[in-house]
A and B are shown apart, each in its own frame.
Chain A
């Protein structure tokens, strides 16, 4: 998994678990001091991390259905792009769930929350 260079420069990386802890087409929630993070694993094996709050009403995205590279918020079914945190479709342009830098090293998931 290649994180963008800018993300590799600054953050402190924190280990939140193994890749195999995240169900395929699913997500887990990782509470942190700065609020909960949702870690997603898509059908094609990619991992994404977003702040665990939908830009709409703050719904926990980690509880949604993961499809393609998107997650459907469990509260009102907004579809959120996992790569950008932005709502897709008709809700495009209405806010954004913060993207959390993520990298995988030796099967462990590291998130940049420093």
Chain B
């Protein structure tokens, strides 16, 4: 049987996806011809913003490469516009006289950006933001620097402005309304968004009506507002909306309103002609987001491959903004309305705002800012129309807390998801496709799932869900991989990449790193500077010069700042062992400096609280004189080794736990680590030193030493995992130093050992420290680094180092001449 002729007008996301969906169902039914106006293969248009921002390349956003067209498409005509459709003759007529007959025709012509008819709109440098050519024009303009003005504070306009800032321009967004992204956000979220954008260099002007675009020598020079203000600019981006591209359909006699009118089977007024995507109007709505397009494509594919009853019934929408570090989510009736109730959560400190709108006992919409992890969950509850009466108390705190309180395993929700439920909104991938690919093709990693199914390959917000599916399908065989979370808002680079490049490119100063890795801020922020300082210190021991101004105050002043601006001082007591002489000296210091509070800490130390900063060097001097050095209670480094009395005194003690603790502390003190490190050594499994909730804990037994890592008793409480068991004390020291070095080299700044362990997996760590050569190499690197680290910072400062840190400026008594 000869193949039917299927012609697709439009080589974009909708057209190609429709072809994919059809081929998936019936690979041999149609001979496909595609017409495309852009002279290139199909790419992910929603990822143009990251391309503009320089966070992705064009190659990374190509959806269908040349090989795909070779395999699946009989003829591809790019850069050729379709002029007319002869409905009677069932024939497409393209520019240049090309005529192609069809049996079935799909219109996927998408939409055109709206250009405001302002005076000066035709000046050079006035662009829209729609396709790769627009991105090219903006990138070229950005190379010259200066200011960009973007008209339109919707999703696209904000992404364009942010992208231009990342390219080195200043950007101002001019918005007609008083709320940014008013179709997705409410006033509170818009307020937070304005602040977050301002931090990233995007200025927003609200309630501003554009009057005219001003030019100079034929190029854009500024935007004049109705209130008389003039905003100078080197490039002007119009991002005020889109309109369905219906010219060809209209000229050919198909019924059109705003878009090409289609029924629930995506059929136009001509029974052989279908329309999908942004050019189509379904039940009075022309969609401009990607998720509905995928749903339309699936329905159309069903209809064209033998299920005439398949029906598209419209979509509920969700939106996310693609601006690095600014998390915004919106879905449904986010702004409430009559008969709606609001559940609102705000955390000013973290800049988090969540509003869940309830209508008739169901989720009707949500808007989230700052923390959008639960966006998918709310969206899901909304789409399923689930009764949330029982969840209501905790709904706003998110899925994890809600389900934990109800005793449900969060994974059971994922397990219970129907196969046809969509997981990846960007690429329209359902749960069933993902699990089938994992099981059928033996996929074991997130990357593999991305490559095969495209799920989580675009914006990445469904990554946790895809990981849960991997976990469910593979069980313990799956290790969660964390995506490259940017170090901070100053960069798009993740911690691992930064660390790798410091070593690979021999970067040896903070400015060198910021230059090479294209930091977006002149000198970083309070998040990245301490991180970079640590990474450099760890990478180049003895070589890198510590940058004091990139240390938090506690590490700069070698004491812990308290809420009243005074400091606390904790001298080192090796393994928690002290003596009469030390205690006497401490007592004298307390009297001499009128220290208000003396407290015993959880790590078996004595804490002197309320010392004035100016007094610190003198206090340290007295402590030094009594043989005591810095206890580093302030450091992202080795803090304390807590011990019990062990075999020396205890009738149950199996080994010399105190001695081991002292030896460990003497060897490891002064080392800087990604986050604080606390050790414990217990002399028997009764565990009086609480070693099993320390970052690294040793439990002595008759036959040797059990070494556990990843314990915590702070924000998180968890017991250590057994890393290994060794027979001798020397081996215990080697192993502990090796694992500490591995953590030093691969941990992310401020990531405690248990978090690190969760990321890299205990198997990896165990393999490294149980391999004798690897353990030796790690230990040697730790020991080498200690040669430069074990200098008592207190003694240095007693001797006068950084004296200005501890001396206030003194005002000259005489007044300066006015």
**Chain A, residue nearest B521 (CB):** A68
B-chain residues with CB within 8 Å of residue A30 when the two chains form the complex: 808-811
For B815, give its contact among A12, A21, A108 (CB under 8 Å). A12
Q: Say whether B561 faces chain A, with CB atoms less than 8 Å apart.
A: yes
**Chain A, residue nearest B557 (CB):** A63
> Which B496-543 residues sit within 8 Å CB-CB of chain A?
521-526, 529-530
B-chain residues with CB within 8 Å of residue A31 when the two chains form the complex: 808, 811
B811 touches A59 (CB 8 A): no
Chain A interface residue number, banded: 35 or more
Q: Say whether A47 faces chain B, with CB atoms less than 8 Å apart.
A: no
Q: Say whether B553 faces chain A, with CB atoms less than 8 Å apart.
A: yes
Q: How far is the CB of B536 from chain A (nearest CB, A)?
A: 16
B525 touches A72 (CB 8 A): yes
Q: How far is the CB of A40 from chain B (nearest CB, A)?
A: 11
B-chain residues with CB within 8 Å of residue A65 when the two chains form the complex: 525-526, 529-530, 549-553
Binary flags per residue of A16-53, CB closer than 8 Å to B gives 1, else 0: 11000101111011111000100100011000000000
B-chain residues with CB within 8 Å of residue A59 when the two chains form the complex: 563, 565
Looking at chain B's contact residues, the main secondary structure is loop
B818 touches A12 (CB 8 A): yes
> Which B798-818 residues sit within 8 Å CB-CB of chain A?
804, 808-812, 814-818
Q: Whole-angstrom distance between the alpha carbons of A58 and B595 in the complex?
A: 22
Q: Whole-angstrom distance between the alpha carbons of A67 and B528 in the complex?
A: 10
Name the segment of B259-267, B346-354, B685-693, B719-727 touching the other chain: B346-354
B348 touches A67 (CB 8 A): no
Q: Whole-angstrom distance between the alpha carbons of A15 and B816 in the complex?
A: 6
Q: Whole-angstrom distance between the alpha carbons of A63 and B809 in the complex?
A: 13
Q: Whole-angstrom distance between the alpha carbons of A76 and B523 in the complex?
A: 21
Q: Whole-angstrom distance between the alpha carbons of A74 and B132 in the complex?
A: 45
B195 touches A75 (CB 8 A): no
The CB with the most chain B CB atoms within 10 A, among A32, A60, A65, A94, is that of A65
Q: Whole-angstrom distance between the alpha carbons of A68 and B553 in the complex?
A: 18
A-chain residues with CB within 8 Å of residue B811 when the two chains form the complex: 14-16, 30-32
Using A16-B809, A63-B565 as known contacts, say yes or no to A91 and B523 having CB atoms under 8 A apart: no
For B809, give its contact among A17, A24, A26 (CB under 8 Å). A17
Q: Say whether A90 faces chain B, with CB atoms less than 8 Å apart.
A: yes
B816 touches A13 (CB 8 A): yes
**Number of A-B residue pairs having CB atoms within 8 Å of each other in the complex:** 115
Using A14-B816, A39-B809, A65-B549 as known contacts, say yes or no to A90 and B565 having CB atoms under 8 A apart: no
B804 touches A89 (CB 8 A): no
B563 touches A90 (CB 8 A): no
A26 touches B563 (CB 8 A): no
B526 touches A60 (CB 8 A): no
Q: Say whether A97 faces chain B, with CB atoms less than 8 Å apart.
A: no
For A67, give its contact among B525, B812, B814, B815 (CB under 8 Å). B525
Q: How far is the CB of B583 from chain A (nearest CB, A)?
A: 31
Q: Say whether A102 faces chain B, with CB atoms less than 8 Å apart.
A: no
A-chain residues with CB within 8 Å of residue B313 when the two chains form the complex: none
Using A31-B808, A68-B522, A76-B349 as known contacts, say yes or no to A89 and B196 having CB atoms under 8 A apart: yes
Binary flags per residue of B202-243, CB closer than 8 Å to A gives 1, else 0: 000000000000000000000000000000000000000000
Using A65-B529, A89-B196, A92-B195 as known contacts, say yes or no to A43 and B809 having CB atoms under 8 A apart: no
**Chain B, residue nearest A57 (CB):** B563
Using A28-B808, A63-B553 as known contacts, say yes or no to A68 and B526 having CB atoms under 8 A apart: no
Using A13-B818, A64-B553, A89-B199 as known contacts, say yes or no to A79 and B563 having CB atoms under 8 A apart: no
Q: Whole-angstrom distance between the alpha carbons of A65 and B490 in the complex?
A: 15
Q: Say whether B370 faces chain A, with CB atoms less than 8 Å apart.
A: yes
Q: How far is the CB of B348 from chain A (nearest CB, A)?
A: 6
A-chain residues with CB within 8 Å of residue B522 when the two chains form the complex: 43-44, 68
**Chain B, residue nearest A37 (CB):** B809
Q: Say whether A100 faces chain B, with CB atoms less than 8 Å apart.
A: no
**Chain A, residue nearest B526 (CB):** A72
B-chain residues with CB within 8 Å of residue A25 when the two chains form the complex: 523, 549-550
Q: Whole-angstrom distance between the alpha carbons of A26 and B551 in the complex?
A: 11
**Chain B, residue nearest A36 (CB):** B808
A79 touches B192 (CB 8 A): no
Q: Whole-angstrom distance between the alpha carbons of A105 and B816 in the complex?
A: 10
Binary flags per residue of A85-101, CB closer than 8 Å to B gives 1, else 0: 00011111010000000
The CB with the most chain A CB atoms within 10 A, among B349, B523, B552, B561, is that of B523
A-chain residues with CB within 8 Å of residue B561 when the two chains form the complex: 60, 63, 74-75
**Chain B, residue nearest A73 (CB):** B526
Binary flags per residue of B344-382, CB closer than 8 Å to A gives 1, else 0: 000011110000000000000000001000000000000
For B350, give its contact among A15, A63, A67, A90 (CB under 8 Å). A90
B349 touches A90 (CB 8 A): yes
B-chain residues with CB within 8 Å of residue A28 when the two chains form the complex: 804, 808-809
Q: How far is the CB of A53 from chain B (nearest CB, A)?
A: 9
Q: Say whether A82 faces chain B, with CB atoms less than 8 Å apart.
A: no
In addition to A13-B818, A39-B809, A90-B350, 19 A-B residue pairs with Cβ atoms within 8 Å of each other are A15-B812, A16-B811, A17-B809, A23-B549, A25-B523, A26-B548, A28-B808, A29-B808, A29-B809, A57-B563, A60-B565, A63-B553, A64-B526, A65-B525, A65-B551, A67-B525, A68-B522, A91-B348, A91-B351
The residues of B with any CB-CB pair to A shorter than 8 Å are 192, 195-196, 198-199, 348-351, 370, 521-526, 529-530, 548-553, 556-557, 561, 563, 565, 804, 808-812, 814-818
The 26 sampled A-B contact pairs (Cβ below 8 Å) are: A13-B817, A14-B815, A17-B809, A17-B810, A24-B549, A26-B548, A26-B549, A28-B809, A29-B809, A30-B810, A32-B811, A36-B808, A39-B809, A65-B530, A65-B551, A65-B553, A66-B549, A68-B521, A68-B523, A75-B563, A79-B526, A89-B199, A90-B192, A90-B348, A90-B351, A108-B816
Q: Which 9 A-B pairs give the minimum distances between C-beta atoms?
A: A90-B351, A72-B526, A30-B809, A43-B523, A25-B549, A65-B526, A74-B553, A63-B553, A60-B565
The residues of A with any CB-CB pair to B shorter than 8 Å are 12-17, 21, 23-26, 28-32, 36, 39, 43-44, 57, 59-60, 63-68, 72, 74-77, 79, 88-92, 94, 105, 108, 110, 114
